[in-house]
Amino acid sequence: MRKLKNSELQRISVEDFKSAKKTPIVVVLDNVRSAMNVGSVFRTADAFLIEKIYLCGITATPPNKEILKTALGANDAVAWEYIKETKDIIRKLKNENHHIVGVEQTENATLLQNFEKPNKKVVLVFGHEVFGVNEEVIELCDECVEIPQFGTKHSLNISVSAGILMWEMWRKLQ
């Protein structure tokens, strides 16, 4: 066994990424305060050909240097847009027949392993590192999904949660 060289990884160009068939997943970041987390989400979204990221509220936007540091250029490939009010984009996406999934611990949350693929595009909503997804946004979601956890903590870093959810959704949508 040997480690592959970068030239062997068959990476596509930014132009090819933009024209590639996307995974029918949209990501919404609801007031994510860490620009490094935002950059990590961009990088993961690039890995799974995510359709678009909406950056809302206090969420930093490119060309923030911390985003650029962790995104490693993924912010140039993945489509994104800034929307001041998270509720506005959630309402718009709902009206466009998207399935809105809050990634949050709520009453009646669906455990990730029990999530069933809807017959429409999925919107994953991730929230603030301390306060989570805003309650008003939760009320607009079609369902909430929770990542099962078995240790002493009851939360994961948003970039870790985003990685887990994007992988699992990508896998289920294949």
Question: Is residue 5 included in any domain, yes or no?
Answer: no
Confidence class of residue 139 from pLDDT cuts 50, 70 and 90? very high
pLDDT at 156 over 90: yes
Structure confidence by residue, pLDDT tens digits, 23-69:
999 999 999 999 999 999 999 999 999 999 999 999 999 999 999 99
Question: Is residue 2 included in any domain, yes or no?
Answer: no
Question: Is residue 65 included in any domain, yes or no?
Answer: yes
In whole numbers, what is the pLDDT of the chain averaged over residues?
Answer: 97
User: Any idea which residue has 């930014």 for tokens?
Assistant: 14
Question: Is residue 86 included in any domain, yes or no?
Answer: yes
**Domain count of the chain?**
1
Question: Is residue 10 included in any domain, yes or no?
Answer: no
Which residues on adjacent β-strands are paired with residue 102? 125, 144
Q: How many CB atoms lie within 10 A of CB 106?
A: 16
* Predicted pLDDT at 9: 92
Question: Is residue 54 included in any domain, yes or no?
Answer: yes
Structure confidence by residue, pLDDT tens digits, 100-138:
999 999 999 999 999 999 999 999 999 999 999 999 999
**pLDDT (mean) for 148-155:** 93
* Predicted pLDDT at 45: 98
**Crossing angle of the two packed helices 35-47 and 158-173, in degrees rounded to 10:** 20
Contact between 39 and 65 under an 8 Å Cβ cutoff? The reply is no
pLDDT at 174 over 90: no
Q: Which domain holds residue 84?
A: 20-146+157-173
Residue 122 CA: distances (Å) to CA of 27, 103, 118, 151, 173: 8, 12, 8, 29, 10
**pLDDT (mean) for 71-94:** 98
- Output the CA torsion sign for 19, 122, 112, 149: positive
**pLDDT (mean) for 75-88:** 98
Question: Is residue 94 included in any domain, yes or no?
Answer: yes
Question: Is residue 15 included in any domain, yes or no?
Answer: no
Contact between 44 and 164 under an 8 Å Cβ cutoff? The reply is no
Confidence class of residue 159 from pLDDT cuts 50, 70 and 90? very high
pLDDT at 148 over 90: yes
The CATH number given to whatever domain includes residue 93 is: 3.40.1280.10
Task: Classify residue 128 by its DSSP letter.
Answer: B
* Predicted pLDDT at 149: 95
Burial of 104 (0-12, 13-18, 19+ CB in 10 A): buried
Which alpha helices (H) appear in 8-157, and where do they start and end? Answer: 14-19, 35-47, 65-71, 74-77, 86-95, 135-138
Give the contacts of 25 (CB within 8 A, at least 6 positions apart).
48, 50, 51, 121, 122, 123, 124, 166, 169, 170, 173
